[in-house]
A and B are shown apart, each in its own frame.
Chain A
Amino acid sequence: MPNYKLIYFDVRGRGELCRLILHCAGVPFEDFRDFDYYKDWPAIQSKMPFGQIPVLEVDGDKQLAQSITIARYLARQHGLAGQNDWEQSQADMYVDCIYDLHNATVEATWETDPEKQKELFDKVKQETILPHLEKVEQHLIKNGNGHLVGQGLTWADIAYYAYFTTPIMTLLGSEVLTKAPHLKKLIETVGNNHNISKYVETRPVTSG
């Protein structure tokens, strides 16, 4: 088993999908997050390939940057990417959709004024999230087994779980899934996965 160290801030943000994949697959890793931003981050940043995190370090000397790339690599290594090239590309597609949703929601996520935050979130909800949900629900029904891709759990399902259980979604978007009952059920299924629920129980509580 490779030695993994995932370096990211002490928030969910762009690192959480990687953490969830590793936990779901039952793969041990060092979840390097307890560093001081002001004291330690400059030194860490200088060693990161693009000066950004998350970064995955493999066996102490290989580095991989870019959150979705890391998540895809881990999913492929540990049986969560899809069973063939086509399924893997479908999973890639869904995760790219979630990445787009994350980018659309990032401003609202970190807005500290509650009124402005709600305004920002509602705009994203109407313009981006709800139209997307309408399509995803149709695709889920068509796939016929509760999962987005193929016959079982993939990192695409986990990505949807991660996004739709973010703190901002829990705070302001709780009724967003009422029009997407199949997706709602999928998210519950992923949440009930033994390894994921065990991790989530002890995961640090953060605002994003």
Chain B
Amino acid sequence: MTQYKLHYFNFRGLGELARLIFHYAGVAFEDVRFERSEWPQLKASMPFGQVPVLEVDGQFLSQSYAIARYISRKHGLAGQDDWEQAQVDMYADCIKDFMINGRPIYEEQDPEKQKTLMSQFMSEKMIPHMAVLENQLAKNGGVLVGKDVTWADIACYAFFSYVSVKHPDILKDCPNMSVLINKIASNDNIKKYLETRPTTEI
């Protein structure tokens, strides 16, 4: 039996997607969590000085999406053939872009500038791309690719469940995405995980 160890901070952040995939797939793993204060001692031992890192039978894999894709492929959550897997990658990348492009806006200290950046981000990226995801869900029977949940759907859950805490109406124009988020949240394995998951700010 493969030994999986996921190393990440004791918050959701970039590590949560891998945790959710493991739980959804019902695959046992060691969820190694550390506090920010412990990080300076651990950093040098990580392959690129960053986390999350997945340890698989003693070998290391970095980069949150490489990790998510690897465990999804191994456990039937990546798509049924090469083309489906590429479509899954594409939708997951859309979510990644939301995170990458949204981050500097949240880090902007000047409230006026932040407001402008946020408004631009919403109108130029978030709203049009959420519409693409929404249309795809409507066209494809409630999941993004193929017939079953893939890690792209789980990535949507991870992102929108996180964002909707500060922005509860983020999915007001996306009923199909709302249904997907609830579908993932209602999965037995995910429900059980959420009951005992540490409550963290991010």
Contact = CB atoms under 8 A, between A and B. Distances in A.
Interface string B72-90: 0110000000110011011
B27 interface: no
Contacts of B83: 62, 73
Contacts of B63: 92-93, 96-97
Nearest to B53: A93
Interface residues of B, number: 27
B165 interface: no
A92 B82 contact: no
Interface residues of A, number: 28
B23 interface: no
B19 interface: no
A202 interface: no
Contacts of B179: none
Interface in B86-131: 86-87, 89-90, 93-94, 100, 128-129
B70 interface: yes
A89 B129 contact: no
A103 interface: yes
B132 A50 contact: yes
Interface in A93-138: 93, 96-97, 103, 131-132, 135
B19 to A, nearest CB: 17
B86 A85 contact: no
B82 A77 contact: yes
A37 interface: no
Given A86-B59, A135-B49, A65 B74 contact: no
Interface of B: 47-49, 56, 59, 61-63, 65-67, 69-70, 73-74, 82-83, 86-87, 89-90, 93-94, 100, 128-129, 132
Interface of A: 49-51, 62, 64-66, 68-70, 72-73, 76-77, 85-86, 88-90, 92-93, 96-97, 103, 131-132, 135, 139
